[in-house]
Amino acid sequence: MRLHRAALGSALFFALAPGVVVGLVPWWLTRWEWRPAPMPLSLLGGLLLVVALPVLVSAFVRFVRDGLGTPAPVAPTERLVVTGAYRYVRNPMYLAVLSAIVGQGLLLGQSVLLAYAGLVAVLVVSFVRLYEEPVLRRQFGEEYEAYRRAVPGWVPHLRPWKG
């Protein structure tokens, strides 16, 4: 896939997937109405958002630049993406999405978003286990298996994988 097409496809997918999951649905559930919450929780929520959004954008950029494709299953990468945050954890994009939802819930004092994050987590983990990992095994074979053995799926390592 050419770089330009990968960038365009990724931008479109970014608007459709994280845009809906992290933006539209939380807005629909809460209208982003702020409810008083303990200050430490609000600060933690803000911190989660500040950290999650750049990780999410960076993951999309890496899919284009390093993988020559998109995160969308219909236009996958040509190369396995194992750079950036992917050196610490296999699913930084999903973790960033979940962190952004939890961050909004804590910042806004909206427990409905915490419940929504739980639902999204179940769906994401199921998608990864039932679809994404088998597809990556077929597409990248031993390269993916070595990466999978070395890098945790959901709890980041403190030291980057140098594979």
Report the number of distinct structural domains present in the chain: 1
**Is the model's pTM score more than 0.85?**
yes
SS3 call for 136? helix
User: Cβ neighbours of residue 96 under 8 Å, at least 6 residues apart?
Assistant: 52, 53, 55, 56, 59
Residue 111 lies in a domain: yes
Residue 50 lies in a domain: yes
User: What range does the domain containing 74 cover?
Assistant: 3-150
What gap in Å lies between CA 94 and CA 106, rounded to an integer?
A: 18
Residue 163 lies in a domain: no
- pLDDT by residue for the chain (163 residues), tens digit each? 588 999 999 999 999 999 999 999 999 999 999 999 999 999 999 999 999 999 999 999 999 999 999 999 999 999 999 999 999 999 999 999 999 999 999 999 999 999 999 999 999 999 999 999 999 999 999 999 999 999 999 999 999 999 8
Residue 134 lies in a domain: yes
Residue 162 lies in a domain: no
What gap in Å lies between CA 7 and CA 144, rounded to an integer?
A: 23
Residue 157 lies in a domain: no
* Residue 70 and residue 9 in contact, taking contact as beta carbons nearer than 8 Å: yes
What gap in Å lies between CA 12 and CA 9, rounded to an integer?
A: 5
Residue 68 lies in a domain: yes
Residue 22 lies in a domain: yes
Cα–Cα distances (Å) from 59 to 2, 30, 31, 118, in that order, read: 18, 27, 27, 22
